[in-house]
Amino acid sequence: MDVESGSTADAVELEAGGSAPAVAGRVVRDRRTWAVIALACGMSVLVRLPMLSSPVSVDEGGYLAIARGWAHGQVLYRDVFVDRPQGLLALFRVWDWLSGGNTRSIHLMAMLFGIVLVVSTAVVVREVAGDTAARLAAMVCAVVSAAPMLEGFAANTELLSGALSAAGLAVGVVGWSKRRPLRWFFTAGLCSGLALSLKQSGFDGLAALLGWLLLVAVFGTRARATALKAIAAALAGLTAVLTVLVVHGALTGWSRWWAAVAGYRLRTQSAFASADWHNLAATMPYAFIVLGTVALTAVLGAESAAQNLTTRLTTADPGPLILLFWLIVAIIAFLLGGGFWRHYWLLLAAPLSALAGIGLAKVPKFRYLAMATVLAPSLISAGWVYSADRAHLNIRAAADHHAAVDEQVAKWFDSHRQPGQNLYVLCASAGAYADAHQDPGYPYLWFVEVHHAPHAQNLLVAYLNDTINGPHYIAEYERASTCDSSGRVEQILNNSFTQVALIGSIPIFERNPSPP
């Protein structure tokens, strides 16, 4: 590990008889680095700030509505369904309690996790490549991870799990230089387990750490025993979190839990089933705007990973190699998702920023001009997004036409509903439930689930036919024939409901009174 960048540098210098000026210089560099990291954290907040009062996204609203339903007694994965581990819903449930049910405060959570991502990325780079690279990486990560065109303002699972995954990697690389590293690696495993509890793709940081440790165990004879113990400690921390998830899943309903977090995704949309390559092509231009120059600069940093490789492994120095591992695993996690929505690209933001920081550090002249050039496309695109009025912010940021309408539908519903009456969004715009503070009466809140979840179509027909527990109002976001090709839903809508309003382009239907 680079001595100048390590947290034990002062002790090394003193033990070796280092001069007081050398130690003082180290302190000054530390303060300067942390000042820049703090500035980067402030930048990540500022880039997100214009979206603070914007409507919640579909995914944010859906997770929040499910968390609220779970808090109100609904059974997770049965009464309310999502193909994510329960840690995500627990996080949204706790946040909703802390915020007093303030729906828009979800974007504050994105800001906090964005700060964790920036700090963690900077710490990793500082440990393996020095202070200068860490400062540059922090600034790059702050801007690109908050990019509105990649939905960096939203509390999506890529940002949330990515922040904790990066934190686990940071704890691991810092712990390697400690006298008692095993507790650090156990903590790294805990962080990675928490990342996996938010989304199944949150394994990139731990996989990079374990991959490097395995190489050290194979090639580094002096550090082999320590590396093997570190692997065991990290896996122990990971297992502790996964055990909690499994036990809760078994108590909730093992088959439903396993189908939700593993089987459903593998069957419906992943790299192994119905991967949406068309969506990959559609979102790639936006990713290129934000990450293109960062990726080009990261190539310079990746070259450092191959330099003196044998020496680094035999001396147990991870160097930038661990960052290259991080990027490779993040790319794998990105491809495994299969959906390739804009926010999926956030998985690559931190490792690319880390390598870009090293690449920029290799350019001593015009370094800050080069950084400005790297960040210019992202900042310009953010300025274009934020120049829109509030109703069009989500449209420009993520082509989300439902977010602003969700608020209007929720406002109309609040002004018309009577106690006990509920709303169904046909057949998908999950954010409307969060805006209306309405617990879902039908388990499946996303379009793909209505079509692919087991028995979803029959459950929908039964729900709409239920005059007691079924919906009193229906907001037709998608045509009934699109939601159910059999025609049963359209027949129910025509026979049992009457249109009473039009919110934007969304018809609102009310259930017909029951005959006396």
* pLDDT (tens digit per residue) in 25-49: 788 888 999 999 999 999 999 999 9
Among all chains, which residue has been given the structure tokens 């998830």? Answer: 245
Q: What is the pLDDT of residue 304?
A: 74
Q: What is the pLDDT of residue 308?
A: 62
Neighbours of 468 (CB within 10 A): 6
Rounded to whole angstroms, the Cα distance separating 456 from 333 reads 28
500-516 mean pLDDT = 92
Confidence of residue 315 (pLDDT cuts 50, 70, 90): low
Q: Which is more confidently placed, 311 or 213?
A: 213
pLDDT surpasses 50 at 10: no
Q: Per mean pLDDT, which range of 145-154, 305-314, 350-359, 422-431 is the poorest?
A: 305-314
pLDDT surpasses 90 at 3: no
Neighbours of 459 (CB within 10 A): 15
Spatial CA neighbour of 464 closest among 449, 442, 448, 445? 442
Q: Which is more confidently placed, 43 or 13?
A: 43
- Beta-sheet pairing, 473-476 with 423-426: parallel
Q: What is the pLDDT of residue 313?
A: 62
Question: Identity (one letter) of the amino acid at 36?
Answer: V
CB 41, CB 142: distance < 8 Å: yes
Which phi and psi angles does 146 have, rounded to 5°?
-100, 5
pLDDT surpasses 60 at 9: no
157-173 mean pLDDT = 98
CB 80, CB 70: distance < 8 Å: yes
Q: What is the pLDDT of residue 272?
A: 77
Q: What is the pLDDT of residue 25?
A: 76
pLDDT surpasses 90 at 167: yes
Q: What is the pLDDT of residue 309?
A: 64
Rounded to whole angstroms, the Cα distance separating 185 from 178 reads 11
Q: What is the pLDDT of residue 7?
A: 42
Rounded to whole angstroms, the Cα distance separating 510 from 375 reads 50
CA torsion, points 438, 444, 446, 449, in degrees to nearest 10? 180
pLDDT digits (tens, 9 = 90+) for 319-340: 788 999 999 999 999 999 888 9
Average pLDDT, the chain: 91
Q: What is the pLDDT of residue 310?
A: 61
Q: At what angle do helices 131-144 and 349-361 cross, to 10 degrees?
A: 140
Q: What percent of the chain has pLDDT over 70?
A: 93
Residue ranges of E strands in 162-266: none
Q: What is the pLDDT of residue 318?
A: 64
pLDDT digits (tens, 9 = 90+) for 376-406: 999 999 999 999 988 899 999 999 999 999 9
pLDDT digits (tens, 9 = 90+) for 98-142: 999 999 999 999 999 999 999 999 999 999 999 999 999 999 999
Q: Which is more confidently placed, 452 or 305?
A: 452
227-247 mean pLDDT = 97
pLDDT surpasses 70 at 370: yes
Question: 436: which 2 tokens?
Answer: 């209306």
Q: At what angle do helices 131-144 and 20-48 cross, to 10 degrees?
A: 10
Q: What is the pLDDT of residue 124?
A: 97
Confidence of residue 16 (pLDDT cuts 50, 70, 90): very low
pLDDT surpasses 50 at 415: yes
Which 3 state secondary structure label does DSSP give 251?
helix
pLDDT surpasses 50 at 12: no
pLDDT surpasses 70 at 311: no
Confidence of residue 203 (pLDDT cuts 50, 70, 90): very high
CB 410, CB 436: distance < 8 Å: yes
212-241 mean pLDDT = 92
Confidence of residue 271 (pLDDT cuts 50, 70, 90): confident
